[in-house]
Structure 1
Amino acid sequence: MITLLLQIFLIVLLAHVIFSWVPRPPEPLMPFVLGVRRVVEPVAAPLRRAIPPLRLGGVALDLSIIVLFIAVRILMGVTSRLGL
């Protein structure tokens, strides 16, 4: 059950990354975009404060999201081995 929830969170996290690339999502998608942000931001915000973005010229790479992806994948591995 926990592994399934982590898989769903991973999909929501991927949607968050994709939506972050779109400067202005279409209006019909805005409720979905806001819902994805409400799920991801409470988890990503503390990481973002601890891990500053990596500056690559005029672009900043949010490393907290990458760390979150890795952490969720590790948790998925642990929970699947435990049968959760």
Structure 2
Amino acid sequence: MIYLVSLIFRALNWLVSAYILLIVVYALLSWLPGGYESKFGRIIGRLVEPFLGYFNFISLGPIGFGPVVAIVVLSLVQYGIQYLGMLVLQLMI
């Protein structure tokens, strides 16, 4: 039972890390001409843009800080998942 709970929390942690990586790749696509119009860019855009839409209000002229704020929020969520996992596993022991 402990192994299953540990596996669930590790999987959640991995999913958040993978989503952070997708946000970084999506932000780097803005440096490439036509990066968002490529098939790869459209696929990542469909996955990332709904979440980034909550943070697109943060900009300074043409520079948007939405991806940075989204990564900070996801990092806080990831730390919360790790802490909650440690608490649950300690209660189970």
Task: Count matched residues.
Answer: 75
Cα RMSD (Å): 1.8
Residue identity over aligned pairs, in percent, reads: 19
How far 1:35 moved relative to its partner? 0.8
Counterpart amino acid of 2:81? T
Larger radius of gyration: 2
Q: Moved runs in structure 1, 4+ residues, more than 6 A?
A: none
Cα distance per residue 1:8-55 (max 9 Å; x no partner): 101101110110111223x8xx2211111111100111321xx24212
2:45 equivalent to 1:37: yes
> Scaled by the length of structure 2, what TM-score is found?
0.71
| Unmatched segments (≥5 aa) in structure 2 | 1-10, 87-93
> Scaled by the length of structure 1, what TM-score is found?
0.78
Mapped to 2, the partners of 1:52 and 1:2 lie a distance apart of 28
